[in-house]
Amino acid sequence: MKNVSIILVILFFAPLFNTRTGGNASAQQLPFSSEYYTNQFVLNPALTGTKDFSNAFITHRSQWVNVKGAPQTSYFTIEAPVEERNVGLGLKLYSYSTDILSQMGAFATYSYKIKVGDDNNLYLGLALGMLDNKIDYAKAVMRDKDDPFFVEQQQNKTVFSADFGLAYRLKKLEVGFAAPQIFGNNMLYSTDNGYVRHFKLARHYQGSLKYVVDIIKDKQITAYPLIMIRSVSGAPFQYDVNAVVDWKKAGWFGVTYHSTYALAISAGVRYKNLSLGYAYDLGLSKVKTYTGLSTEFLLGYTFAKKVAVAIDSSKNEVWAEQIQSSTAMIQPADYDDEYWNSLNKNVDRQQIFNTIVDAVISGKLQAYNMVTNAPMSIAQVKASLVRLGDTPKLVTKNDISKVRMNEKWLWDKKSNKLTKQVTRMDLLITQLDEAGEVTGNDKPLFYVKLK
């Protein structure tokens, strides 16, 4: 067993270090996992906060439990969407140790959503943080105890590191790409005698492909294949094939094939906001008898999303499904200042314009053509916001002539209060003649539907 342990450690470390004074090499350096499909942003920062709720996870993986100094990995992650800004924010802390090497990392992660179409989004992601790498030669087994490089018992190096990611979602198809350790930092470990070792944080490349299929839609039971590929200079090309069945209210079950290494069986249960998962690797290599089990535990917590208060029909009477009201933004010629100001003293034209237009351009609201009722693309909306003529110019808040709203009136029988819900908002702008003068008529811009 001791000989097997030494062989495994040599195979793992040999590519990472060079000779005494120069050169370097690379190999797979990232922590391994069998349940990453439950928390994908640990591999790709572009997937940070892309769900409509916040998550926190703690995971621990023990690999090759019969091998002394075998890899041990622990993670703590938390992520949250910032929907009004199309942003996801996260924090990733982890520790990874294997024999004489150990590493601790702390990263802040960020993603930004670019809406390409109705069900078509591009995500950009970045993780920035610090990596602390330690080499403990006191744990090394060596024949030449007088080797001058091993005089130093322990050395630490802390470096700044970054991961970059992209993800593209088209309905239920998701394609991802990530480049961890994108800087490729080169750390030097030296002794007082002038002996130098290089440890290179190699740039890795990862790709993923996932497609979600509804099994029983009303029960929120889905299944999906997830293919993951990994590449780094100095190590064999690796790939995973995952098959997962997920029941949102109860749990999940997955099977993962890690190329040339293992077949992993994983499962998890959900209870209220908590989730608990376990993975077990069935080794496929020739040394599986000697290495022992590889297991992984996961504990998660989902923060409840704030939901809109539902209307209790037993306590409310619907007085009207659609009431149309209009608010003029330009003072009519027959209105004196005092009367006009009394009607519009609380109307903020700037806020109305910015809120609606920004929400449409960012993809949070869908714009519709007032004449045809057809959905408008973001490009069409941007084009409508340009006044054509000898000197084209952008539409501004001062061009808004009228805001028209459809309202739903609800009477609360218990509190005896009347509330109004705006279900649609139309923006109209001033109509110009060929000379660019205001005609006094309104020109439709677009409308948005509100819940």
> Is the pLDDT reported for residue 366 higher than 60?
yes
Domain-located, residue 309: no
* CA angle 100–106–111, rounded 5-degree value: 135
- Structural tokens at position 7: 């062989």
Strands 173-179, 101-117: pairing kind? unpaired
Judged by average pLDDT, the poorest of 210-214, 256-260, 281-285 is: 281-285
pLDDT band at 299 (very low <50, low <70, confident <90, very high): very high
Residue 14: is its pLDDT beyond 80?
A: no
Whether 334 and 297 share a structural domain:
no
Averaged pLDDT for residues 202-227: 91
Position 408 scores a pLDDT of 79
- The residues, ordered by sequence, that sit 6+ positions from 339 with a Cβ below 8 Å of its Cβ are none
Mean pLDDT over all residues of the chain?
79
Residues 288 and 386 occupy one common structural domain: no
Mean pLDDT along residues 13-37: 57
Mark whether 75 and 178 lie in a shared domain: yes
| Max avg pLDDT among 71-80, 365-374, 407-416 | 71-80
Q: What pLDDT, on a 0 to 100 scale, did the predictor assign at position 64? A: 78
Answer yes or no: do 288 and 343 share one domain: no
Confidence bin at 413 (pLDDT 50/70/90): confident
- Residue that terminates a domain, selected from 303, 330, 347: 303
Residue 308 falls inside a structural domain = no
Region 195-206: mean pLDDT is 79
Lowest mean pLDDT segment, chosen from 59-73, 103-117, 139-153, 190-204: 139-153
* Residues 209 and 260 grouped into a single domain: yes
Q: Which two tokens stand for residue 242?
A: 């995952």
Specify the pTM.
Answer: 0.62
**Percentage of the chain with pLDDT > 90?**
28
In the block, tokens 């470990």 appear at 189
pLDDT band at residue 416, thresholds of 50, 70 and 90? confident
Q: Residue 411's pLDDT is what?
A: 78
Per the listing, tokens 């040394």 go with: 287
Q: What pLDDT, on a 0 to 100 scale, did the predictor assign at position 1?
A: 44
Is residue 62 located within the same domain as residue 198?
A: yes
pLDDT (0 to 100) of residue 311: 45
In this predicted structure, the answer to whether residue 145 has a pLDDT above a threshold of 90 is no
Please give the Cα distance from 384 to 389 (Å, whole number). Answer: 13
- Residue 311 resides in a domain: no
How many separate domains does the chain show? Answer: 2
Q: Is 245 exposed, middle or buried (0-12, 13-18, 19+ CB in 10 A)?
A: middle
Asked if residue 335 and residue 239 are part of one domain, the reply reads no
Work out the average pLDDT over 395-419.
Answer: 77
Q: What is the pLDDT of residues 306-360, one digit of tens each?
A: 544 444 545 567 766 666 666 666 666 666 667 666 666 666 677 778 888 888 8
Structural domain includes residue 120 = yes
